[in-house]
Structure 1
């Protein structure tokens, strides 16, 4: 049994917890009070006015003029994310982090210790609420697709369990847009077939779907049957280490995308060092508004776990290796591949001074963060962060 744990309005919830005077008020994280920039997160009080993440701040403030605009504190959110991960590890070591605020868990081996999957999910939610004063939504299901879909259906504060013998009963009434990979373009094409729900799509023949949508159609058809054979991959078993984030709406701001890419790169570097591995290939992943997905990669001169070296490679891919098309991005991610144990690469006679300096800075920052929390240290201008 798989669980998808997703924090509700994470950035905004952390701000409202840390500043009790904000509770019950419309809060926007990101952008400026003058309406510049893009919304990174919005409290549910702001969402009632139509505000959502990735929306231009100017439009958000027109919808909700009384909103309180707060500058993001990524260091703080990363610190709280670590605390959430510590809670999750009480229940299973089979954890695959996706971003600061969500992760997949395989709790199959934990049932004998903690009880049924629904009870484990309930305990996780209670621990997060009692210890961190935050709210998580959890989906419980036989696979990743169903678990993630379940966690999103009844937000906030959701606990949705998909019975393994009632999967089609769960899926069939939902709109076909709930299938991973169905964006605006694909949804319009499916609508032309007279199909609106997953149940209607499921009853199409696999051949008909593949003829219409190609390889992508095969994936959609299997998801409509509730089939997803991807397993939860913990860090220690991963052939690559990556982080990605999906935006609620398409993001067009190059500046905001670079900022998210930087955040993800920092997380990847920390995980590499925590697992004591290095990697040689850096990969950038983008999914556009039409759900077409591209990857770009580059191979480094030597394996690394140094955040700045990964960032320079990722930024180069982002700035110079993307196709010449309009920047409307639904997902961005960065990963490091060709992993090997850090100890397999002994020091050479002539070490690169810049590498040694950055590696030393990473060791110090990791130690300080581990001892005093993420707020104790933030990256400087080397990585383009304020």
Structure 2
């Protein structure tokens, strides 16, 4: 979807149409963060994940709008229903993005490009919103294609042109290459896919670890990942950035209780329990740590979440430290098969799989 949250707000509120708006936290006080900016705001350099204060400096006319996630979720459900008219192989990435495998399309249209056009048309007519689509033979190339001609774009990259396309692509445009990695690549003289292609797989692994193999394959247009319509939920959590730094443990515990309630409600919604509870702490200097505790059985009750989070907090000696953010996450969902139930079981996997 194109500038999804902002586009929904402009659709639903005439006063926002044609205006530079940012959905996210207000710049007042310590200031929030931009979740999505309208295209009118992007002309000034306003981007998602940018501090709201910085966004206002770039665009003094910027209007800030509080998110309405219930509205966005409802639109997302409608979009998913449109997808389902053409294929059952749908892998959601977020509320506004998904992979579709239309190899076997339900309406026997026979053309991925035509299906993309029909989906875009349905979204425009039924939701008064625009979407951009990328069409190719694998997930990685389709993802890049979808970003090339936004808003309201449709880009096809066929099998015969994939390698030449990847060779010309700047490294920062590679999906999954962040700013830090892109900067490292440029310092090594790697500016495009063609530059990456000059290095062997082992050389890329030496410089970038396991990701080196991914870069080696992807620059050649190789991506064998299947579209996963029932992708497993790995974790579920919530966090909050406070308008002022917390220095009293009592205040921190009050905020943890609020966050734990949000996490508990989300667990109930999806009928999930987890074996690992992780506490996230970000200090006023932006240093961030995580602490976790794992259980031999899945938990999801409010009391356990709150008590565990408070115990993990106490273990960090938080008194008089300045904390700007706290978060709680549950992971390792599902049941454990007890050792001994299977005679040939090689041993139980470690429950402590989070890095601090």
Cα distance, 1:311–1:49 mapped onto 2, change above 3 Å: farther
Q: Is 1:172 matched up with 2:167?
A: yes
SS where residue 19 of structure 2 aligns?
coil
The aligned counterpart of 2:102 is 107
Shift of 1:24: 0.7
Q: Which moved more, 1:26-35 or 1:16-25?
A: 26-35
- The correspondence for 1:20, drawn from 14, 20, 27, is 14
Query: RMSD of aligned C-alpha atoms?
Result: 4.0
Cα distance, 1:112–1:17 mapped onto 2, change above 3 Å: closer
CA contact (8 A) 2:292 2:312 kept: no
For residues 117-128 of structure 1, what are the structure 2 equivalents within 5 Å? 117-128=112-123
CA contact (8 A) 1:265 1:310 kept: no
Cα distance, 1:120–1:335 mapped onto 2, change above 3 Å: farther
Q: Is 1:50 matched up with 2:59?
A: no
The aligned counterpart of 2:147 is 152
* Separation in 2, partners of 1:183, 1:133: 32
SS where residue 104 of structure 1 aligns?
strand
The aligned counterpart of 1:90 is 85
CA contact (8 A) 2:116 2:133 kept: yes
Shift of 1:239: 4.5
CA contact (8 A) 1:137 1:158 kept: yes
CA contact (8 A) 1:283 1:295 kept: no
Cα distance, 1:224–1:285 mapped onto 2, change above 3 Å: farther
The aligned counterpart of 1:9 is 3
* Separation in 2, partners of 1:110, 1:313: 50
* Separation in 2, partners of 1:23, 1:218: 45
Shift of 1:301: 6.3
For residues 148-174 of structure 1, the C-alpha deviation after alignment (integer angstroms, 9 at most, x for no partner) is 111111111111112022211221111
* Separation in 2, partners of 1:95, 1:283: 30
- Give the alignment's TM-score, normalised by structure 2: 0.71
- Give the alignment's TM-score, normalised by structure 1: 0.66
For residues 287-335 of structure 1, the C-alpha deviation after alignment (integer angstroms, 9 at most, x for no partner) is xxxxxxx9987655654788x699869978997999xxxx9xxxx9977
Cα distance, 1:59–1:185 mapped onto 2, change above 3 Å: closer
* Separation in 2, partners of 1:230, 1:170: 20
The aligned counterpart of 2:211 is 216
From the CA coordinates, give the structure whose radius of gyration is larger: 2
Q: Is 1:63 matched up with 2:41?
A: no
Q: Which runs of 5+ in 2 are unaligned?
A: 244-254, 281-288, 317-322, 336-356
Cα distance, 1:112–1:186 mapped onto 2, change above 3 Å: same
Shift of 1:118: 0.6
* Separation in 2, partners of 1:101, 1:318: 35
CA contact (8 A) 1:281 1:297 kept: no
For residues 208-287 of structure 1, what are the structure 2 equivalents within 5 Å? 208-235=203-230, 238-240=231-233, 254-255=241-242, 269=267, 272-273=270-271, 278-281=272-275
Q: Which runs of 5+ in 1 are unaligned?
A: 1-6, 245-251, 287-293, 341-386
SS where residue 65 of structure 1 aligns?
coil
The aligned counterpart of 1:31 is 25
* Separation in 1, partners of 2:235, 2:154: 27
* Separation in 1, partners of 2:39, 2:308: 33
* Separation in 2, partners of 1:310, 1:123: 48
Structure number with the bigger relative contact order (C-alpha 8 A, sep ≥ 6) is 1
For residues 23-82 of structure 1, the C-alpha deviation after alignment (integer angstroms, 9 at most, x for no partner) is 111111122264721211110001111111121111211211112211111121112111
Cα distance, 1:162–1:281 mapped onto 2, change above 3 Å: farther
* Separation in 1, partners of 2:206, 2:269: 41
- How many residues matched? 302
